[in-house]
Amino acid sequence: MSSGIFRINRLGLDNLRNDFYGGLTAAVVALPLAMAFGVASGAGPMAGMYGAILIGFFAALLGGTPSQISGPTGPMTVVMAGIFAYYTSLDPVSGAAIAFTVVAMGGVFQVLFGVFRLGHYIRLVPHPVISGFMSGIGVIIILLQIGPLLGHPSEGNPMGAVREFGEVFANINPHALGLGVLTLAIVYLLPARINRTIPAPLLALVCGTLVSTMLYKEGSVSVLGNIPTGFPSLVLPAMSLNLLAGMVKSALILALLGSIDSLLTSLVADSATRSHHDSNRELIGQGIGNTIAGLFGGLPGAGATMRTIVNVRAGGRTHLSGAIHAVALLSVVMGAGSIVRHIPHVVLAGILIKVGTDIIDWGYLKRSKVAPKTGVALMVVVMLITVFVDLITSVAVGMVAASLILVNRMAKLQMKSIKAISDISDESPLCEEAMAIVRAAKGRILVYHLSGPLSFGAAKDMARRLSIIAGYEALVLDLSDVTTVDTTSAMAIEDMILGAQATGRHVFLSGAHTGVRALLDRMGILGMLRKGHEFPERLQAIQEAASILDIPWKERLHKNNSQARKHL
């Protein structure tokens, strides 16, 4: 472990002007999103702002992706909304403190992921699983914001929101609908050249608030109302032994999701800047940011793709841009309460619906006709479980299913590489002398050639395939091209040895490399062979088999060599 793993990044001044502009531009984009995420989580708009400030600053200061902008994201908000609703319903007095303690615990887990260098393992999650997971979160965000878009309070879960659709569509608030249509029109239809100067979410926030304030009567649509401003106060950790197991589970969900979300954004940042991030340092920076955010009542967050791309396009290249983004948001928080209180909920709902549609992996869905069917099916299953069950179950099911698909695919490849050689027509890796012996044996010697890394996926089929071959008297198990074996495949080799010996056949083992032989020896499998039936070379084993069966192979080899010389 590196002694400097917690070191603060150097905030170089070489790119100061561009980093300053990039950070300010990212802050402009982050402002409406942070408040919208805060409202959607149930913790309030300032929780979103505090999360954006604290995570944005400390992840930039300590993380491993120079141009990355961090803060509350759609996926993290969806999880936090469930955590916040659950603990506040259990304990209305200290439930919020418990929820933010979970955020801090999740941050600690992220730090541990980085310290133990688990960053590259998180990146091994298959694309269909990530695609289905993120698309499911996008669908959840959209379902939860349809009610607020039409003037109704937000439900805490997608199934509850779907059940309320009848009531929502039967009693639409026309004022909210008008503002919602205006917001959606701006965030979806704003020309790109304008969007580069004034981000669509910010323009929608300003226009929607102005229309509501100047044209609507007070009370026509719900607004944020009075909110606290100033520096966040410390939220003392709250914990109950009865709730500890659930808190740990929720914290792990936040940590895993935040890690995946951040490292995916890091890859996007690498692509945009042609750089390379440090995944383990990034997890440590994100973890420290989330821990501090939880201690000060801020939402959990991660690397934010859209804000990172905005920063890069505006010139941000170093950690300084992320820190400037956080400081800019802090300056807004210190004195913007009187303005922010007039923002309508429906405007934030419209902005979040755009976020939801952006999260859905449309690119993969468009390729579904040509993509492998197993991958598409996996993506759909993960998406449905994400929406209708829960997030952690969807990832668990997706990873298990993806692993089984991979094991099955590797098992088929391993089975294709197995060769049972007993006559002249067989394709084989044997040398001329070995082939001469096998030909002379006329099926009495079977060379069972295994190759590659043998795993549990192909073990049973490997033994079953041998069991249906009949007519041979001596079996040569050739491990010359086997690189590794696991316990299950070693047991399959044992079954093959015992099965052949039980029918009175001679069994020889050849070519086992040092590591493979060591495992077979530790498990006592080599001791099942008759004395002198293990050889370092395949040819030696075949020669011994021919000798025991009294096969006249030398004459055949001499005859073949004489014919070859005549042709020359």
Q: What is the CATH number of the domain that holds 430?
A: 3.30.750.24
- What would the mean pLDDT of 69-81 be, rounded to a whole number? 92
Q: How many CB atoms lie within 10 A of CB 210?
A: 11
pLDDT of residue 80 exceeding 90, the answer is yes
pLDDT of residue 87 exceeding 80, the answer is yes
CB 258 within 8 A of CB 302: yes
5 confidence band (pLDDT: 50, 70, 90): low
Average confidence score pLDDT of the chain = 86
CB 289 within 8 A of CB 59: yes
Q: Length of the chain, please?
A: 568
Distance CA 118, CA 1 (A): 12
- What would the mean pLDDT of 506-529 be, rounded to a whole number? 94
312 confidence band (pLDDT: 50, 70, 90): confident
> What's the confidence (pLDDT) of residue 535?
94
169 and 299 in one domain?
yes
pLDDT of residue 3 exceeding 50, the answer is no
297 confidence band (pLDDT: 50, 70, 90): very high
341 and 463 in one domain?
no
Query: 154 is written with which tokens?
Result: 């937000």
- What would the mean pLDDT of 209-230 be, rounded to a whole number? 83
386 and 291 in one domain?
yes
Q: Is residue 407 part of a domain?
A: no
Q: Are strands 302-303 and 70-71 parallel, antiparallel or unpaired?
A: antiparallel
> What's the confidence (pLDDT) of residue 559?
57
Q: Is residue 208 part of a domain?
A: yes
Distance CA 430, CA 422 (A): 11
47 and 123 in one domain?
yes
CB 282 within 8 A of CB 241: no
> What's the confidence (pLDDT) of residue 323?
94
Q: Which of 361-365, 457-461, 471-475, 524-528 has the lowest mean pLDDT?
A: 457-461
> What's the confidence (pLDDT) of residue 524?
94
Q: Is residue 230 part of a domain?
A: no
552 and 474 in one domain?
yes
- What would the mean pLDDT of 475-491 be, rounded to a whole number? 92
Closest CA to 261 of 169, 136, 134, 109: 134
- What would the mean pLDDT of 46-51 be, rounded to a whole number? 94
498 confidence band (pLDDT: 50, 70, 90): very high
Tens digit of each residue's pLDDT (9 = 90 or more) over 207-217: 999 999 998 88
Tens digit of each residue's pLDDT (9 = 90 or more) over 383-413: 999 888 877 678 788 888 888 887 888 878 7
298 confidence band (pLDDT: 50, 70, 90): very high
Tens digit of each residue's pLDDT (9 = 90 or more) over 519-530: 999 999 999 999
Distance CA 186, CA 146 (A): 17
Distance CA 273, CA 319 (A): 13
> What's the confidence (pLDDT) of residue 494?
93
> What's the confidence (pLDDT) of residue 568?
46
152 and 89 in one domain?
yes
Q: Is residue 268 part of a domain?
A: yes
> What's the confidence (pLDDT) of residue 305?
83
Q: Is 227 helix (H, G, I), strand (E, B) or coil?
A: coil
Q: Is residue 412 part of a domain?
A: no
> What's the confidence (pLDDT) of residue 147?
92
- What would the mean pLDDT of 83-105 be, rounded to a whole number? 94
CA gyration radius, the chain: 32
424 and 389 in one domain?
no
Q: How far, rounded to the nearest angstrom, does the alpha carbon of residue 11 sit from its chain's CA centroid? A: 30
Q: Is residue 520 part of a domain?
A: yes
Q: Is 476 helix (H, G, I), strand (E, B) or coil?
A: strand
Tens digit of each residue's pLDDT (9 = 90 or more) over 147-177: 999 999 877 778 888 889 999 999 999 999 9
484 and 397 in one domain?
no
Q: Which domain holds residue 472?
A: 418-567
553 confidence band (pLDDT: 50, 70, 90): low
Q: How far, rounded to the nearest angstrom, does the alpha carbon of residue 197 sit from its chain's CA centroid? A: 33
User: Sign (positive/negative) of CA torsion 258, 259, 260, 262?
Assistant: positive
Q: Is 211 helix (H, G, I), strand (E, B) or coil?
A: helix
Q: Which residues are within 8 A (CB) of 322 and not within 5 positions of it... i.e. 6 or more apart?
A: 23, 26, 56, 57, 59, 60, 61, 63, 67, 68, 69, 70, 311, 316
Q: Is residue 413 part of a domain?
A: no
> What's the confidence (pLDDT) of residue 436?
84
467 and 345 in one domain?
no
433 and 391 in one domain?
no
Tens digit of each residue's pLDDT (9 = 90 or more) over 322-353: 999 999 899 888 876 566 778 898 998 898 89
First-to-final CA distance of the chain: 65
Q: Is 142 helix (H, G, I), strand (E, B) or coil?
A: helix
Residue for token digits 């044992």? 494
> What's the confidence (pLDDT) of residue 13?
61
- What would the mean pLDDT of 302-315 be, rounded to a whole number? 86
> What's the confidence (pLDDT) of residue 2?
46
Environment class of residue 183 by beta-carbon count within 10 Å: exposed (0-12), middle (13-18) or buried (19+)? buried
1 confidence band (pLDDT: 50, 70, 90): very low
250 and 303 in one domain?
yes
Q: Residue 72, CB half-sphere, CA atoms under 13 Å: how many?
A: 38
Q: Is residue 423 part of a domain?
A: yes
Q: Which of 248-257, 304-313, 509-518 has the lowest mean pLDDT?
A: 304-313
| Number of domains observed in the structure of the chain | 2
Task: Indicate the DSSP class of residue 234.
Answer: P
Angle at 446 between CA 441 and CA 452, to 5 degrees: 140
pLDDT of residue 414 exceeding 80, the answer is no
**Maximum CA extent, the chain:** 108
471 and 344 in one domain?
no
- What would the mean pLDDT of 475-490 be, rounded to a whole number? 92
43 DSSP β-pair partners: none
